[in-house]
Homo-oligomer: A and B are copies of this chain.
């Protein structure tokens, strides 16, 4: 709680160039507007530059372009936003979890819990599951039989991982996330749906974060795969047999339908929908609330959003969408009429 660092110590740890007094002590990071003399702040968006003149921060993190924009003690970084992230992590370490298994947790037969791991109260660890070194399994989490979780995982309360899944190191999973539930596989037979057993797994790489109430279904036959460094916000639905390429980030409420293959370093906006069996190239960006109904082979930004307007204007305009083909036909007819008039 009383952590503090000299500005020079921070720069020694994370690099960057110190300008001004390197002896100033920093105990927290905050916005330019709210910062006090023992705080460091940062400027990563030029629209806040005016606040630099009025901040009470003890120091600031700036990009090279803003190096001379203040006399405050400062660290100059090539990437001030990432620098801010690192300093914040330094100043706000996660609470230590006590190693060991809480007396009110249940551990199945043959489960291997690393002695440095922490299993909280009400957690249920299935038979033969493996929990790696320094991993923290929060209260009420359920880990299925024979699921393997790597080291340094942090599962917040009430994460569920079904049986037989494989998770790399450094997983962060927020409450209510469900990993390994059955994919939506049904076959119609004489008026009744028959369930298709979902016998694949979910396989997750290293350094993945999964938001609250996000769901990732297990594969039908093959696996659902989340590659290294993927970041998933809250309430995302990942269907069976999807593959998400490394370092792709997906915003809240997006849905990826079955067997879609998303490239590396993609950015998928909130509430976007990717239909099943499609492929997205690397470095594709999808705008929020956009449905993607065909594969995208080329990097770039894509969108499909109906522009909002006042209800009465929307109503007046939108009604024509049901007659757009007619309208195009009328324009074509006009063009022909004009041509024939001109020819006269």
* Contact surface of A with B, Cβ cutoff 8 Å: 29-31, 34, 79, 81-82, 84-86, 88-89, 92, 95, 102, 104, 106, 120-122, 124, 138-140, 142, 145, 156-158, 160, 162-163, 172, 174-176, 178, 181-182, 184-189, 191-197, 199, 207, 209, 211-213, 215, 217, 221-222, 229, 231, 233-235, 237, 239, 247, 249, 251-253, 255, 257, 265, 270-271, 273, 275, 285-294, 300-311, 313-325, 327-328, 330-331, 334-335, 337-338, 341-342
Contacts and interface: CB of A to CB of B under 8 A. Distances in A.
Contacts of A231: 184, 186, 193
A309 B302 contact: yes
A234 B209 contact: no
A307 B140 CA distance: 43
Contacts of A291: 271, 288-289, 305-306, 308
A67 to B, nearest CB: 19
Nearest to A139: B124
Contacts of A324: 317-318, 320-321
A182 B209 CA distance: 10
A99 B288 CA distance: 46
Nearest to A121: B106
Closest 6 pairs (CB-CB, A-B) = A304-B308, A82-B189, A301-B311, A142-B157, A181-B212, A160-B175
Contacts of A85: 185-187, 189, 194-197
A330 B335 contact: yes
B187 A82 contact: yes
Contact of A196 (B88, B229, B285, B315): B88
Nearest to A170: B195
Contact of A199 (B92, B184, B287): B92
Contacts of A29: 221
